[in-house]
């Protein structure tokens, strides 16, 4: 059974780069230095992930406590509305009853909301695709939608009878999975009494994993009943797959193949499975040796990152489709429960049961456009200026 009351829940908004709080150390140098934004040499070199003895990949360790809260809220002042490009670079996480927003540009932490009733807590968070709105699921069975720019709640959706443990956006459709084993699909453009456009009831226990495909044609849901369900865009059940031997919390759609989804099982299963969602066939399986908590695909390489629980609480990078392990990243002292990828696809943030966020430069820089590549290789690109060579050891 998956533990769906973690100390931290995270989600990143799309639209801007996620800057780490603290950068890694280059081998042989005693001073921390920023990674380069681009470097032409990676166009000709193979990718490698260094070991911790070669480079410190623990790029940040952020304790989000009340002491880190904004002074403006203590003074009673309303939070300022950031520009659109600013709040698209925000990281949202929850600790118990409170949701915080971390602005990667300013490095500031602001409190977005706190549950008003004692004992209630935030059980899930998810950004809309444009980064303007944050959906918040609560233990008292509600779904809230917040305007991040104005720090204002604009909707409250009621349809579950128990905690809302997972959320997923697809355009104007917001899907929520609950402990009541129901998936509610909401059209956020509609009035409150018309907003619920579908109720999906194929699962027998809590919905602990929920993701729409990037193209919006299919929805994958994982449950504590060990089942994976695939739904089409008309909310019809396409497949119910029962190959996992534990709860299916980790669900991730492949960015380069629309009908490929990866799922991870809990402690009694320990496997990552890859599925053809058109046929329902299991294409391949990795026995990872430990609970699979979360999965994130690379947008630039054919690689997938997994996070785990007991005993190492590690992150593992795998090649696809060879399923060869590229590297293993350690640092969390508790289960690495959640992951989210930065908008540019280069960094990953992990949230652990040890109540820390850790930032990893694991996927490398996004590929350059053709005109940018030509300028860099000819020496005429401005992006070459000041790019330190030490970054080659951690990107490519």
Higher pLDDT pick, 396 / 327: 327
pLDDT tens by residue, 204-249: 999 999 999 999 999 999 999 999 999 999 999 999 999 999 999 9
User: Is residue 63 over pLDDT 90?
Assistant: no
pLDDT at res. 8: 57
pLDDT at res. 114: 94
pLDDT tens by residue, 47-58: 333 333 322 333
pLDDT at res. 90: 65
Kindly report the pTM of this predicted structure: 0.75
User: Is residue 30 over pLDDT 50?
Assistant: no
pLDDT at res. 105: 82
pLDDT tens by residue, 254-291: 999 999 999 999 999 999 999 999 999 999 999 999 99
pLDDT at res. 338: 96
> Which of 4-13, 102-111, 156-165, 258-267 bottoms out in mean pLDDT, i.e. has the lowest?
4-13
Q: Residue 308 pairs with which residues in a beta bridge?
A: 292
**DSSP per-residue letters across 291-320:** -EEEEEE-SSSSEEEEEE-TTT--EEEEET
Q: Which H or E element spans position 74?
A: helix 71-74
Mean pLDDT of 73-79: 36
Count of residues making up the chain: 396
User: Is residue 70 over pLDDT 50?
Assistant: no
User: Is residue 200 over pLDDT 70?
Assistant: yes
What domains are there in the chain, each with its CATH number?
Answer: 9-22+59-365 (2.130.10.10)
253, HSE (Cβ side, Cα atoms, 13 Å):
20
List the one residue out of 93, 94, 86, 105 whose CA is nearest residue 21: 105
The average confidence (pLDDT) of the chain is 78
Separation between Cα atoms, residue 382 and residue 211, nearest integer Å: 39
């Amino acid at each position: 059974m998956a533990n769906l009351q973690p100390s931290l829940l995270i989600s990143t908004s799309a639209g801007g780069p996620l800057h780490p709080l603290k950068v890694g150390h280059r081998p042989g140098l005693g001073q921390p230095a920023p990674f380069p934004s681009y470097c032409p040499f990676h166009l000709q070199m193979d990718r490698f992930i260094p070991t911790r003895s070669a480079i410190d990949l623990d790029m940040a360790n952020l304790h989000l406590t009340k002491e880190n809260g904004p002074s403006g809220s203590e003074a009673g002042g309303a939070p300022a509305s950031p520009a659109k490009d600013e709040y698209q670079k925000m990281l949202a996480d929850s600790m118990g009853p409170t949701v915080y927003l971390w602005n990667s540009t300013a490095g500031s932490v602001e409190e977005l909301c706190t549950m008003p009733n004692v004992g209630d807590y935030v059980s899930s968070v998810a950004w809309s695709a444009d980064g303007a709105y944050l959906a918040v699921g609560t233990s008292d069975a509600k779904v809230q939608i917040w305007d991040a720019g104005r720090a204002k709640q604009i909707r409250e959706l009621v349809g579950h009878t128990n905690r809302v443990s997972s959320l997923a956006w697809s355009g104007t459709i917001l899907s929520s999975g609950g402990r009541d084993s129901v998936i509610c699909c909401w059209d956020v453009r509609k009035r409150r009494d018309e907003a619920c456009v579908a109720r999906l009831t194929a699962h027998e226990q809590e919905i602990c994993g929920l993701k729409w495909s990037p193209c919006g044609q299919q929805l994958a849901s994982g449950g504590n009943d060990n089942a994976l369900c695939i739904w089409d865009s008309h909310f019809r059940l396409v497949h119910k797959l029962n190959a996992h031997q534990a709860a299916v919390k980790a669900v991730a759609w492949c960015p380069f193949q629309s009908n490929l989804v990866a799922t991870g099982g809990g402690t009694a299963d320990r496997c990552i499975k890859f599925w053809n969602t058109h046929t329902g066939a299991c294409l391949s399986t990795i026995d990872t040796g430990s609970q699979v908590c979360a999965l994130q695909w690379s947008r630039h390489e054919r690689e997938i990152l997994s996070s785990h629980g007991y005993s190492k609480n590690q992150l593992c990078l795998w090649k696809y489709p060879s399923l060869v392990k590229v590297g293993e990243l350690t640092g969390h002292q508790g289960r690495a429960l959640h992951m989210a990828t930065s908008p540019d696809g280069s960094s990953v943030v992990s949230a652990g049961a040890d109540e820390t966020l850790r930032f990893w430069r694991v996927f490398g820089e996004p590929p350059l456009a053709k005109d940018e590549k030509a300028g860099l290789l000819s020496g005429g690109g401005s992006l070459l200026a000041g790019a330190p060579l030490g970054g080659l050891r951690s990107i490519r």
